[in-house]
Amino acid sequence: MIVSLKILSLLLNYPTQELLDDLPALKKAVNSDRLLSAKGQKMICTLCDDLAGKDLYEVQERYVFLFDRTRSHSLHLFEHVHGEGRDRGQALVDLREMYLTNGFAVETTELPDYIPLFLEYLAHQPFTEAQELLGQTAHIFEALRLRLKKKGSIYANAFGAVAEISKAAPSKELLSNILAEPEDDPNDLEAMDRIWQEEVVKFGGNAGEGSCGPDRLRMQMRAADRRPPDITTQNIQGEN
C-alpha cells in the first residue's frame, strides 16, 4: 500500500473524532514514509498539527464551509472538468468500472470521483500506475491547491503533498481552463441552493462501450468543455 496516499485520503475526508484521535499515528507514518520528500512530509504533518489543535466541531464546520458550500473547492474530480455537462454521468460510470475491474470494492455513498475515494484506490495500486493517474489529474489538484492557498486554507498542503508524490507538471492550458471559472461565494446560500440542484446518477449495469482504464480516464480528465446542461435528470440504471 502507498501509505502517504492512504493518509491523504483520510485527511481529506470529513473529519471525525476517530481521525483526530489517530493524528499522532498518522504523523508517525508520514515521517517514516520514504516515498515522501521532506517537503511533502512537512506539508502533511503541518495539516495534522492544525487539525489536532482544534476541536471536532470547529474542524467539521470549516470542512463543510470549504468543500460543501464552495463548489469551486469541490472534492469531486469531474466537477472541475465536466461541471453540469452531459458527459459527467458516463465519466463517473467509467471510473467506477475501473475501480471494480482492479478489485477495488466501492462501499460508500460517495460518487466515484470523490477525491478521498480516488486516493484510497490509488493507495492500493502499483506506484507507477498511481503516479500515472495522478499525472492525469495534476491540473485539477493544482487548481484546488491554488484556490485553497488563496483562501489561506491549510488544506492546500494536502494537494501540495499530492504534487510531491506525482512529480507531474500540470497542463498550463487545462489548469487555466479550470481557474477561469468564477469562484463561489459560500456566504450566498441562495446561490448555493440553485447551483447544487444536480441530476441523480445511479451506477452499475451497462457502463457503455470502450475502455474504462487509464486511457479512457485520461480523456475524461482532460475534458475542459463545460457545456451547459440540456437535460434535467440523468439516470443510469442498473444494479447498485
Q: What is the pLDDT of residues 83-100, one digit of tens each?
A: 555 677 788 888 888 998
Question: Picking from 23-27, 61-65, 177-181, 200-204, which range would have the lowest pLDDT averaged per residue?
Answer: 200-204
Q: State how far the Cα of 124 lies from the Cα of 133, in Å rounded to an integer.
A: 13
Helix (H, G, I), strand (E, B) or coil at 8: helix
pLDDT at site 11: 98
- Asked if the structure places residue 36 within a domain, the reply is yes
pLDDT over 80 (residue 108): no
- Asked if the structure places residue 235 within a domain, the reply is no
pLDDT in tens, 190-230: 545 554 454 334 343 333 333 344 444 554 444 433 333 33
- Asked if the structure places residue 197 within a domain, the reply is yes
Domain, as residue range, for 67? 3-221
- Asked if the structure places residue 171 within a domain, the reply is yes
Concatenated DSSP letters of 193-212: HHHT--------S---SS--
Confidence grade of residue 185 (pLDDT, cut at 50, 70, 90): low
10 Å CB burial of residue 192 (0-12, 13-18, 19+) is: middle
pLDDT at site 105: 78
- Residue 67: CB partners within 8 Å, gap ≥ 6? 73, 74, 75
- Asked if the structure places residue 9 within a domain, the reply is yes
pLDDT at site 82: 57
C-alpha cell at 187: 456566504
Number of structural domains the chain divides into: 1
Percentage of residues in the chain having pLDDT higher than 90: 57
- Asked if the structure places residue 227 within a domain, the reply is no
When comparing pLDDT for 227 and 150, which is higher? Answer: 150
Cβ count within 10 A of residue 30 = 23
- Asked if the structure places residue 229 within a domain, the reply is no
pLDDT over 90 (residue 114): yes
- Asked if the structure places residue 228 within a domain, the reply is no
Rounded to 5°, the CA angle 178-180-183 comes to: 85
What is the reported pTM?
0.77
